[in-house]
Structure 1
Amino acid sequence: MNAQDSFLLSYIKYGENDAVLHCFSEEDGYQTYFLKGIYSKKNKKKALLLPLNKLNFSVNPGRGNGIQSVSRLELVKSNDIYNDIKSTTVIFFISDFLNQVLRNENKNLNVFFRIEEFIEELSHQNYQAHLIFLVIILKIQGVAPLINQGNFLDPETGTFSQNTTHPLFTEEISMIWKNILITENPYQIKIHSSFRKDFLDSLLVYYHYHVTDFKIPASLEVIQQIFE
C-alpha cells in the first residue's frame, strides 16, 4: 500500500457509488485511481472531490496493468478559495487545463510545487494568477518562448521578432509575455484588466502550436464571462 499526496484534476462518477479520479501526484505524476463507495449515502468524503484539492491517498496497486484503487482518502489542507466565485471559476479552468496538458507527465516535483504555489496566490485573491501560471507550465515543459530583442512574439516559432506575425500578439501582449518570462517573481506582475482577455487568448494560441493535441478547455467560456 502506497500513501501519497495528489492534486485532484478531474473525476467521473462510475456506476451508482464509485468514481474514477484523475490526479497529479507528488511521487508518480499523472495518475488515474478508482475510488469505491464515495457516492454512497453514508460517505461524507464526497465533499472532498473538488478540483485541485490536495488529497492524501492510500493506494492499492492494480492487478497487472489494471487501475490502482484508493483505500483511504484524506484532505491535506482545507482552503477557503472554494467560497469565492472568482477563485472557484479559475480553479475549474486550471484543473480542466492541467488534466489535459499533464496526461503524459511522470513524476515532476517542479510541476507539483508550482501547482501549490498557484493555489496559494489564488487564496490571496490574485485573480490573474492563472495567466502567470500557464506561462510557468510552458517553461517547465521546455516549450516557452525564447527571449531575444524582438518586440512581437511569433507563437508558431516561439521567438520574438521585429514584425508582427499574428493579430493577437500585439506589442503590448508580447511585452506581457516577455515580462513574465524574465521576471524572478512573475506573480507580482500586474496585467491591466483591458489586456487580460487578449492575453488569455494568446496563451491558448501558443498552447495550440506547442502542446500536442491541445484542445480549448470547455470551461473557457465561463472564465471569460466572470472576468468581463
Structure 2
Amino acid sequence: MNSQNGFLLSFIKYGENDAVLHCFTEEDGFQTYFVKGIYSKRNKKKALLQPLSLLNFTVNPAKGNGIPLVSKFELVKNHDMYTDIKANTVIFFISDFLNQVLRHENKNPDLFLSIDEFISELMNKNYQCHLLFLITVLKIQGVAPLIHEGKYLDPETGTFSDIPAHQLFDDKISDLWKTALFSEKLYTTKIHSLQRKDFLDSILVYYHYHITDFKIPTSLEVIQQIFE
C-alpha cells in the first residue's frame, strides 16, 4: 500500500456501486484509481467526490494490467466553494480542462502547487482566476508565447509580430497576454468583464495549436453563460 495526495479531476460510476477516478497526484502525476462500494447507500464518502477536491488515497498496487485499488480515502482540505454558483462553474470547467490536458503528465510539483494556488484564488472570489491559471499551465509546460516587441500575438508560432495573424488576437487581447506573461503576481492582472470571453477564446485557440489532441471542454458553454 502507498499513500497519495491528489486532486480529483473526474469520476465515472462503474456498475451499481463502484467508481473509476482520474486524479492528478503529488507524487506520480496523473493516475487512474478504482474505488469499490462508493455508491452504496451506507457509504458517506461519495459526498467527497467533488471536482478538484484534494484527497488522500491509500492505494493497493495494481495486479498485472489492472487499475490500482483505493482501500480508503480522506479529504485533505475542506472547501466551501461548491455552494458558490460562479466558483462551482469555474471548478467544473477547470477540472474538465485538466482531465484532458494532464492525461500523460508525470510528477510535476510546480503544476500541483499551481492547482492549489488557483483554488485559493477562487475561494477568495477571484472569478477571473481560471483565465490566468490557464496561462500558468502553459508557462509550466514550456509552451507559453515568447515575448517580443510586436503588437500582435500569433497563436500558431507563439510569438508576437507587427502584423495580425488571427482575428481573435487583436491589439487589446494580445496586450492582455503580454501583461499576464510579464506579471510577477499573475492573479493581480485585471481583465475587464467585456474582454473575458474573447480572452478565454484566444486561450483555447492557443491550446489547440500547442497541446496535442486538444479539444474544447464540454463545459465551455456553461462557463460562458455564467459570466455573460
TM over 0.5: yes
Tell me the alpha carbon deviations over residues 155-214 of structure 1, each in whole angstroms, 9 at most, x when there is no partner: 000000011110000100001111111110110011000100000000010000000000
Name the residue aligned to 1:204.
Answer: 204
Name the residue aligned to 2:77.
Answer: 77
Name the residue aligned to 1:7.
Answer: 7
Name the residue aligned to 1:219.
Answer: 219
Q: Return the alpha-carbon distance in structure 1 between the equivalents of residues 138 and 66 of structure 2.
A: 31
Tell me the alpha carbon deviations over residues 23-69 of structure 1, each in whole angstroms, 9 at most, x when there is no partner: 00000000000000000000001000000000000000000232101
3-state DSSP class of the match of 2:19? Answer: strand
Letter matched to residue 227 of structure 2: F
| 2:154 maps to 1:143 | no
3-state DSSP class of the match of 1:97? Answer: helix
Name the residue aligned to 1:66.
Answer: 66
Q: Return the alpha-carbon distance in structure 1 between the equivalents of residues 98 and 19 of structure 2.
A: 19
| 2:25 maps to 1:44 | no
**Number of matched pairs:** 228
Name the residue aligned to 1:54.
Answer: 54
Identity over the aligned pairs, expressed in percent?
Answer: 71
Tell me the alpha carbon deviations over residues 110-129 of structure 1, each in whole angstroms, 9 at most, x when there is no partner: 00000000000000000000
**Structure-to-structure mapping, 1:20-31, within 5 angstroms:** 20-31=20-31
Name the residue aligned to 2:162.
Answer: 162
Q: Return the alpha-carbon distance in structure 1 between the equivalents of residues 117 and 41 of structure 2.
A: 35
Q: Return the alpha-carbon distance in structure 2 between the equivalents of residues 91 and 72 of structure 1.
A: 24
Letter matched to residue 21 of structure 1: L
Q: Return the alpha-carbon distance in structure 1 between the equivalents of residues 113 and 105 of structure 2.
A: 14
Q: Return the alpha-carbon distance in structure 2 between the equivalents of residues 26 and 116 of structure 1.
A: 11
- Segments of structure 2 that go 5 or more residues without pairing to the other structure are none
| 2:123 maps to 1:111 | no
3-state DSSP class of the match of 1:52? Answer: coil
- Segments of structure 1 that go 5 or more residues without pairing to the other structure are none
Q: Return the alpha-carbon distance in structure 2 between the equivalents of residues 91 and 198 of structure 1.
A: 20
Name the residue aligned to 2:130.
Answer: 130
Q: Return the alpha-carbon distance in structure 2 between the equivalents of residues 170 and 50 of structure 1.
A: 38
Name the residue aligned to 1:121.
Answer: 121
Q: Return the alpha-carbon distance in structure 2 between the equivalents of residues 109 and 99 of structure 1.
A: 17
3-state DSSP class of the match of 1:10? Answer: strand
Q: Return the alpha-carbon distance in structure 1 between the equivalents of residues 78 and 172 of structure 2.
A: 38
